[in-house]
Structure 1
Amino acid sequence: MRRLWLLFAQTVTIALALYLVYYAVKPDFGRTRPATVQQLGTPAQPAATIEAAPVSSANSFRAAAGRAMPAVVNILTSKAVQRKHPLMRDPYFKRFFGDPQEEEDDDQNSLGSGVIVSPDGYILTNNHVVEAADDIEVVLADARKAKAKVVGTDPETDLAVIKIDLDKLPVITLGHVDQAKVGDVVLAIGNPFGVGQTVTMGIISALGRNNLHINHFENFIQTDAAINFGNSGGALVDTNGNLLGINSAIYSQTGGSVGIGFAIPVSTAKSVMESILKDGHVVRGWIGVESQEITPELAQSFGLQRDSGAIIAGVVRNGPADKAGMKPGDILLSVDGKSVKDTNDMINLIAQLQPGGKSTMRVLRKSRETDLVINVGKRPPPRK
């Protein structure tokens, strides 16, 4: 009896196993399915698609770029260059026929960037972009082109103002550079290497950079936003698209960006532009002195207990400072109550004085502080 029960159990088990295998191979067994029409080569059901999430405006600077880019222009300049005939190099030819005028003209083209700052067509750029150019063409972001004329230049800050005559010009908004801090995100907009309008991103690396021996008056914004050849004169803007500076120079041993770029603050650019539009050139104060930095060695030799101020190394005879009694060896401490930290500070404070006015300057002479009232003169133009 037991043997028959085991045989029955094994038979049932085998039958169930065969049924399960058959059902797995033919899952539609015993079912009826409606007929379907299917195109050759297409799946019966389309594969599910995954759509990318929309870009969050909090993680993008497209709004800032969109506001500033239309007001940044490309500047193309050309300069006529006259070439001499090869015979001009022959000393015997020159001896008999002299040195005639050059015979052939050629054009040298260069490029840069600029920023439209007025609906009247005034554009801020670098002086070295338009310096000595015979022809200037401006190309807007919307592909419009126009000839430009130079309104005025200021080589001592490397700024220039040019003008175009077009309607409905986009104008950039001037920012507040005095509120900018190291670490703020900034965008550099320009035309590097002539590839077309380009936006790069970085941060403000430093403020008030000077003693770089790039310009006479220096107060640069340093940034690691990529600035290359062709970016000169372009815009450095904040995350709202407001102008903070005019891109001017880079530190590089190869000619390409290494993350050390410099921009002229918009406060300086605005002051220079207003002076150019008013007087045709920049008017600055002058008192006729040469200065020298206070070094630890000089402080020790002079017996100074301070490391701030500027030593007057020379005084122009019959100049404003000389007439007021300033002497070599004096240490300039303040200009109209504003402290003089170093030579660069002194130059900038004096340059801001109005020619023809009076200024009170405090000097340290033989351990005694003295106030001198100086009639401010007009700074002579720089030597070319």
Structure 2
Amino acid sequence: MTQSTTPSTQSSYPLPDVFSSALTALFDQARPAIVQVRNGQHGGGTGIVWRPDGQIITNNHVVPRDGGDIQVHFTDGRTLPARVIQRQPEFDLALLKVAANDLPFLEAGDSSKLRVGEWVFAIGHPWGQRWTVTAGIMSSRSTRQIDEDVSIPYIKSDVRLAPGNSGGPLLNADGDVVGVNAMIFGGDLSVSIPSNVVSEWLSGLPKAPAILGVGLQRSELPANVQAQLAASREYGQLVVSVVERVAAQQEIFLGDLLLDIDGQPIESAASLRRHLASKAPGDNVSLTLIRGGILTTISASLLPVSSAN
């Protein structure tokens, strides 16, 4: 029997009709869990129903700074008011809540398993055109430095995005969310926040956000202060403002130089916020600080975000 040496034309890649059918099925399955987020100030964007109890993820820049009038439009024709539960400006993420239950939602995939060259898909409302799907491939991974001690990983793809796509999902071929679409980079590459970053942020959120109630400014430590420290340290965080309740509690004062919180260095206002993400109002934290040139440790009570208003 003669064995043919002609290369097989069979391919492991999906044939066009199979690909088209799979994309249609993915779109039909995901569409009910993707919403349009509108506000009364500057348009809006897209949101992802993250939990069936009405939790919706979108970009921070999609919602008004004051959390004002936000309306969420669903595929079934409903329009519901939403409120901002939490926001993370550095990551460009916001968590919204609508008064609804048993909503269809999207599963979060493991973004670390996404490979360069893998097909990805975006669904959103570019230029106000509702529930539009675009396809492409993952191009690369990147990071963006947002603070001296914080960098955020990003997914870059050639999926076409436009204003109105912000806050919508980047989906893999299984229909799982592997990213939250955030911006267009260089005109031809789209940038998405990895789903693992979103999940990690959400898992660290307290039931109610907590603050220390102070304004901080990075300040160089005097030589006599550095000499008191066991570890080398050049900078601290100077307290330049306190909210009324902090002043009344007389725990932290203007001019205090904060060094550590619960034994962890306070390297920036962002690092302080990250530490407080796992806390709740009423919790106590241990603060190491310099007051009147003397190194001391105090206990301070955390406040609700409303105390800053």
Counterpart-to-counterpart distance in 2, 1:286 and 1:151: 23
- Gapped regions of structure 1 (runs ≥ 5): 1-49, 82-107, 140-144, 213-217, 276-282
Structure 1 counterpart of 2:4:
none
Output aligned runs, 1:106-185, within 5 Å.
110=43, 112-120=45-53, 122-126=55-59, 128-129=61-62, 131=64, 136-139=72-75, 145-154=76-85, 156-157=87-88, 158-163=93-98, 170-175=104-109
Match of 1:287 among 180, 203, 212: 212
How many residue pairs match? The answer is 274
Counterpart-to-counterpart distance in 2, 1:51 and 1:72: 42
Structure 2 counterpart of 1:265:
198
Corresponding position: 1:324 with 2:251: yes
Q: Indicate the structure with greater strand content.
A: 2
Structure 2 counterpart of 1:376:
302
**Would you say the 8 A contact 2:171–2:179 is kept in 1?**
yes
TM-score using structure 2 length: 0.64
Output aligned runs, 1:225-236, within 5 Å.
225=157, 226=159, 227-236=161-170
Counterpart-to-counterpart distance in 1, 2:115 and 2:293: 38
Structure 1 counterpart of 2:272:
346
For residues 222-253 of structure 1, the C-alpha deviation after alignment (integer angstroms, 9 at most, x for no partner) is: 2322543222111245686544553334566x
Counterpart-to-counterpart distance in 1, 2:155 and 2:183: 11
Output aligned runs, 1:3-18, within 5 Å.
none
CA deviation after TM superposition for structure 1 residue 345, in Å: 0.3
Corresponding position: 1:54 with 2:11: yes
CA deviation after TM superposition for structure 1 residue 153, in Å: 0.9
Output aligned runs, 1:301-320, within 5 Å.
304=226, 306=232, 310-316=236-242, 319-320=245-246
**Would you say the 8 A contact 2:261–2:287 is kept in 1?**
yes
Output aligned runs, 1:61-72, within 5 Å.
66=26, 69-70=30-31
**Would you say the 8 A contact 1:175–1:244 is kept in 2?**
yes
Q: Indicate the structure with greater helix content.
A: 1
TM-score using structure 1 length: 0.54
* 1:147 partner amino acid: R
Counterpart-to-counterpart distance in 1, 2:271 and 2:303: 18
Match of 2:139 among 202, 222, 231: 202
Specify whether residues 112 and 318 from structure 1 end up closer, same or farther in structure 2 by C-alpha distance, changes over 3 A only.
closer
CA deviation after TM superposition for structure 1 residue 266, in Å: 2.8
For residues 176-218 of structure 1, the C-alpha deviation after alignment (integer angstroms, 9 at most, x for no partner) is: 67x68998979462324438122442333127x4249xxxxx9
Counterpart-to-counterpart distance in 2, 1:363 and 1:247: 40
Counterpart-to-counterpart distance in 2, 1:54 and 1:156: 46
Counterpart-to-counterpart distance in 1, 2:234 and 2:113: 25
SS of equivalent to 2:74: strand
Counterpart-to-counterpart distance in 2, 1:329 and 1:181: 46
Counterpart-to-counterpart distance in 2, 1:311 and 1:251: 34
For residues 298-337 of structure 1, the C-alpha deviation after alignment (integer angstroms, 9 at most, x for no partner) is: 357787484576412414276437722555251x332223
Counterpart-to-counterpart distance in 1, 2:259 and 2:172: 35
**Would you say the 8 A contact 1:122–1:162 is kept in 2?**
yes
* 2:11 partner amino acid: P
Specify whether residues 186 and 223 from structure 1 end up closer, same or farther in structure 2 by C-alpha distance, changes over 3 A only.
farther
CA deviation after TM superposition for structure 1 residue 374, in Å: 0.6
CA deviation after TM superposition for structure 1 residue 149, in Å: 1.2
Counterpart-to-counterpart distance in 2, 1:339 and 1:174: 32
Counterpart-to-counterpart distance in 2, 1:77 and 1:376: 33
